[in-house]
Amino acid sequence: MAGSAAHAPGAGSGAVLPGSAPPEAGGLGAAPPRDAAGASGTALPGPAPHVPPPDRQLLRARLFLRAALPVLKVIVEDDQAMNRRFTGVHAVVQFRVKDGAGTPGTAPGGFAGPEPFTPAAQGTGGRAAPGRPHGTPAASTADPTGAQPLAAHVIIDDGVVRVEPGVYDHGAHGETAKPTITFTFADVYKMNDFFAGKTVLPGIKGLSRPGLLAKVVVLLLALKLLLPSAQPKDADKRRLKVKMTLYMITTALSQYNKAGDPEMVRWTSRQPERIYQMSVEPEGIAAYLRVRAGLSKAGRGFYERRRPFVHLRFHGVDGALAVMNKEVGFVDGVGRGFVTVEGSPEYAANFNDFMQRVQALLLG
């Protein structure tokens, strides 16, 4: 079976890397007061912490599992044909590396634990995440030594999809449970190649459910919509591509920081609370990255508690796709009116630079 393409479209010449995932649970704590311009204070004093670089392949795997894979939820929600395909389906599909290698640790000052994939209450009156459907349990995300297994699982419950980190091994009442289908990779390199769209044959448990396996393969192949070479003509597909793109990149950036990339840790550690907003208007597609003193959090929609410190405002789906598909570079896109940069030019450039780094990492 050919691997699914879960890497994001590139951003040559400063273009914006696509994609992201649902908002993160929890909060950054009380926000410091903002100044009249909307930025909360000035850069934090003192040197940023020294952080050793994480292993590149493990970091890459973390982004695939925690930022790319979760956009499956968006596909099933917004694609009517895909939603019908999974209506009435109750299953758990797991992806893991055979040796259970751990993922890179959390950066100093970052949020401990995995990046949540379920919706969470936010400052705009959002509701807390609902309970697990169909009696599904919490994921096991740590082994007895404290290392996190290199795994994630997709919970499908009558057309509702949720992606969670870690292995699935406990039933609703604490009993031992197994995924319906498990894709097992010999090592992290094989798994990364699979999600990068290369031909990889993982071990598959669950062949007794060929109908379900076929549906899952179709769903994984839908991630190819994130590729810059994917240029759908259908208006709904074009909108879906942009939505997947923005949702993935914000989560990927937050995970890049949490995993301990030294330069991004230094960048986030020296900032007060700031919002880096991305939006496509008038469609209303939006996602953001929130940072403060080394912490980071990704979210969907518009952050309304404070004015964005940087706002990349794409002018319609066509304008967004022109940049995301590398039809024009980011700078040219600004010049031609496809995207407007509001806020600090210096930090907007930093933000775009980190998006390019994430893109390069996912592309291998």
Residue 144 in any domain: the answer is: no
Residue 133 in any domain: the answer is: no
Residue 151 in any domain: the answer is: no
CA gap 210, 329 in Å, rounded: 43
Residue 343 in any domain: the answer is: yes
CA–centroid distance for 311 within its chain: 19
pLDDT recorded at residue 118? 30
CA gap 308, 233 in Å, rounded: 32
The yes-or-no verdict on residue 93 having pLDDT over 90 is: yes
pLDDT tens-place string over residues 219-233: 999 998 887 788 899
pLDDT recorded at residue 52? 56
Residue 170 in any domain: the answer is: no
For 53, 70, 167, 252, the CA distances from 104, given in Å and listed in that order, are: 9, 19, 16, 14
The yes-or-no verdict on residue 24 having pLDDT over 60 is: no
> Of the segments 115-129, 167-181, 231-245, which one has the largest average pLDDT value?
231-245
Contact 203, 98 (CB under 8 A): yes
> Which tops the pLDDT comparison, 291 or 98?
291
pLDDT band at 49 (very low <50, low <70, confident <90, very high): low
pLDDT tens-place string over residues 313-344: 999 999 999 988 778 888 888 989 999 999 99
Average pLDDT over residues 287-305: 96
Sheet holding 151-157, edge to edge: 160-165, 151-157, 90-97, 181-185, 203-205
pLDDT recorded at residue 324? 82
Total domain count, the chain: 1
The yes-or-no verdict on residue 9 having pLDDT over 80 is: no
Whole domain around residue 214: which residue ranges?
Answer: 1-20+45-86+105-111+181-364
Residue 273 in any domain: the answer is: yes
pLDDT recorded at residue 133? 38
Residue 49 in any domain: the answer is: yes
Percentage of the chain exceeding pLDDT 70: 69
Residue 306 in any domain: the answer is: yes
What's the CATH number where 234 sits? 3.30.1050.10
